[in-house]
Structure 1
Amino acid sequence: MAKGGPDGGDGGDGGDVVIVASRRLRDLAYFQHKRHFRAGKGRPGEGARKHGRRGDDLEIDVPCGTQVLDEDGMLLADLVAEGQRFLAARSGGGGRGNCRFTTSTRRAPKFAELGLAGEERTLSLELKLLADAGLLGFPNAGKSSLLRRISRARPKVADYPFTTIAPMLGTVEDEETHQQFTVADIPGLLEGASRGVGLGDEFLIHLERTGLLIHLLDVTGYYQQEPLENFIAINRELQDFSSQLAARAQLVAVNKVDLVDSRQAEAVRSQVSMEVARRCKSGDPAFAWLLERADGDTEAVNGEEAVLLVSAATGAGLEQLMRLSFSLIQDAWEEQPLQMEDAPEGHKIYRPGVDERWQVEAEGDHYRVRGEVVERIVARTDFVNEEAVAYLQERLEKLGVSDRLRAAGAQPGDDVVIGDMEFEFW
């Protein structure tokens, strides 16, 4: 200000990077091509004590069901609800303008503080589909055909294995009650899926949030394997992958019964039902619901209740399958309800105060001063400006840094490191 006092305004803070859950998105494909994100920079302060504008926040949309992990694989956030937010990286603070540094002896300071850099973080995103029920089975068991039949989803369907190459969601609605539940169709599994064969481990994680597993068996078998062998193999993969997933309530749908005569279909059902009953009686939690329906009487357990004959092509048996699925999903909702209410509008960000603790350590041929409060003061200093450097020395003296260095054995001329800067002790 001409013939006036200092009037420089403060610089604006930078923007935050925030990850937001959105129902509009279905996968994380966008992040295959874009991996670096930066929020807006704060604007510089101006004369007449005008403060700089805050930088724009950057909101990154991800599908509901996305988990945020740090570099060590630690879970930081589980974004399951529409609008749920996670503060991924905090903004840097704007520097104070020169008018902030006037004193009775410093009438016209010719320096200002630098702004602090914002947080930089490397995060990983994992998507676990949010579905009430999951379809699983060997390739070509008819999972996609079933999903098309019972919902509005339109997965690719063809008469060869591995038609489905990515998980897909469909919504099923009860025509009488209009109650809905979601079904996830994952690509077909192979033996060794739990160890990553055929990317099976990547597909299985999408079933971890489901309340019910609908196990589809091809009544004709899969590559010379009988349906019963397929059933046992898939359950073995579930157990090897996750005991929690293997314990999820399960029912079996023997599909493609339109391709065989009724005697063959019933024979397959009988074999699988006997295995289901055996598992239930031996304490397999996946079929514990059968024991509950038998009032805890193992002799009354009927494995056929859990094994249905269906045809995704003709619709045979699907009404009964959906009724049983609804019933088991409702049981799962009651046992472990998943809260999916929309997050409230707006959000608060609580920033911890600056840690005032600091210490001096001798490190080889130099001394290091550690502590957030001291490192922030140094980071905000414009070392090109002699007056700013003199002000830094003044502040460090008031904090007692020089006295602490002398007590640690520092002599004039010794090197001192604070943050990223190295000084000569004076």
Structure 2
Amino acid sequence: MFVDKAKIFVKGGDGGNGTISFRREKYVPNGGPAGGDGGRGGDVIFRVDEGLRTLMDFRYQRHFKGQRGEKGRTKNQHGAGAEDTIVRIPPGTVIIDEDNGEILADLTRHNQEIVVAKGGRGGRGNTRFSTPNNPAPYLAENGEEGQERNIVLELKVMADVGLVGFPSVGKSTLLSVVSAAEPKIGAYHFTTITPNLGVVAVGDDRSFVMADLPGLIEGAHEGIGLGHEFLRHVERTRVIIHVVDVSGSEGRDPFEDWQKINEELKLYNIELESRPQIVAANKMDMAEAQENLEEFTKRIREVNPEIQIVPISSLTRQGIQELLYKAADMLDQMPEIVTVEEVEQVAERKVYKLEKKEDEGFTVHRENDMFVVESKKIENLMKRMQLTSEDAIMKLGRTMRHMGVDAELRKRGAKDGTIVRIGEFEFEFVEGSSYF
């Protein structure tokens, strides 16, 4: 089964907790702090593996979490950092942040990689908090939580030549004739509902990869029919072979078919309008095909006199070799399409960027007899601090007093014994104290 879109959840590993420890040595009755820092959490990294062709694996595993860093140890020994989690993806995968629609990366080459969820920093041990005023602090930090993301993966087929055209014009048959691929072939529309790939040997020591892409219909750029499920694959192809049923066996006008498909390509991505194109006038073995070809060629020449038209028949093999030579010659004259480097660079900057300065703002509002304080800085501090010691509570109180929280609470009418809630914690307000 070909799977070209998947939604997954990724989370970097949490950092290890810092440790509270003190030196315990012979003849040293009051040893100083000796708690080590926790190790960093492991990153979640997407890496391209050219051996993969679909996103099938992500149907069965949708959650990827990095490993947690080790806890800090005694004697000032730091915990080990966790190993990174490597997730293999096929070449041609676009990585999108589902929450904001932002493209994080567009990876096309073997072993390209990007960090999609960064692991959290390890918490500091009590050695880090030693000061002249408090040389033996009973204070340590928890590890930072790893970054979380909801990710959408979209695979765009990597092919040199893409076959486009209305349903039932003979794209799958053509691919089966020129390669060892075995696409599903049937006398009904949308026989092909997923891309098929085949390696085409031209016969002069040249070869290329051809993709039979699902049939288009009018309105595809708006998602009608297979719509976007098809069109995103066309973006990867270096040359387009536009297959047209020149016999008119479906009762449609070949020239109008050609115009409509080109219009859909242009409306989806304006760059596709200038993509090199060969028109394969198929089904030449059928009645009226030759007459229709002359009229079709005349009308196309009025629109684009330079476009190449090759009459073919997949059934009798007429014109097949000429078509392959023309496609190979066109590929030889073109550079490989490389994904916009800026996309990757932007993605890497966003993954590895420095943390923004923490927002020091806060709000206070009242709920019945309780005051509720909301502040990202305070809530993050409370997550990091191990609030099991007086030193930790006093540090939290000093931070809040410095931010002006206690003054605001007093202004709002808080008195001794008033309950104050911050996040999941509740405290009693104590007038004149350095903590609640």
| TM bin (shorter chain) | 0.7 to 0.9
Say yes or no: does 1:183 pair with 2:185.
no
Matches within 5 A, 1:164-203: 164-176=192-204, 178-203=205-230
CA distance in 2, matches of 1:141, 1:420: 63
Quick one: structure 1 residues 239 and 99, their matched pair in 2 at CA, closer, same or farther if it must change by over 3 Å?
closer
CA distance in 2, matches of 1:207, 1:5: 66
Quick one: structure 1 residues 417 and 13, their matched pair in 2 at CA, closer, same or farther if it must change by over 3 Å?
farther
Quick one: structure 1 residues 407 and 2, their matched pair in 2 at CA, closer, same or farther if it must change by over 3 Å?
closer
CA distance in 2, matches of 1:191, 1:34: 36
> Relative to structure 2, which stretch is displaced further, 138-147 or 225-234?
225-234
Matches within 5 A, 1:46-195: 46-70=73-97, 71-176=99-204, 178-195=205-222
Q: Is the 8 A contact 2:107 2:113 kept in 1?
A: yes
Please tell me the residue identity of whatever aligns with 2:101: G
- Structure 1 stretches lacking a partner, 5+ long: 282-289, 291-304
Say yes or no: does 1:310 pair with 2:334.
no
What's the offset of the Cα at 1:369? Answer: 6.8
Say yes or no: does 1:279 pair with 2:303.
yes
- Give the CA RMSD over aligned residues: 3.4
Please tell me the residue identity of whatever aligns with 1:181: F
Please tell me the residue identity of whatever aligns with 1:389: I
Instruction: Show the counterpart of 2:326.
Output: 324
What's the offset of the Cα at 1:424? Answer: 5.5
1:221 pairs, out of 235, 244, 248, with 248
Task: Note the alpha carbon deviations across 1:164-184, whole angstroms, 9 max, x for none.
Answer: 2211223334443x4443322
Instruction: Show the counterpart of 2:28.
Output: none
- Structure 2 stretches lacking a partner, 5+ long: 1-22, 26-30, 431-436
What's the offset of the Cα at 1:359? Answer: 3.4
How many residue pairs end up in the alignment?
Answer: 391
Quick one: structure 1 residues 396 and 363, their matched pair in 2 at CA, closer, same or farther if it must change by over 3 Å?
closer
Please tell me the residue identity of whatever aligns with 2:244: L
Quick one: structure 1 residues 133 and 408, their matched pair in 2 at CA, closer, same or farther if it must change by over 3 Å?
farther
Q: Is the 8 A contact 1:174 1:180 kept in 2?
A: yes
Quick one: structure 1 residues 362 and 390, their matched pair in 2 at CA, closer, same or farther if it must change by over 3 Å?
closer
Please tell me the residue identity of whatever aligns with 2:227: G
CA distance in 1, matches of 2:101, 2:266: 23
CA distance in 2, matches of 1:188, 1:130: 18
CA distance in 2, matches of 1:416, 1:331: 72
CA distance in 2, matches of 1:234, 1:317: 23
Say yes or no: does 1:393 pair with 2:397.
yes
Instruction: Show the counterpart of 2:434.
Output: none
Instruction: Show the counterpart of 2:66.
Output: 39
Instruction: Show the counterpart of 1:297.
Output: none
CA distance in 2, matches of 1:390, 1:108: 14
Instruction: Show the counterpart of 2:286.
Output: 260
Tell me the secondary structure at the aligned position of residue 204 of structure 1. helix
Quick one: structure 1 residues 201 and 356, their matched pair in 2 at CA, closer, same or farther if it must change by over 3 Å?
closer
Please tell me the residue identity of whatever aligns with 2:46: I
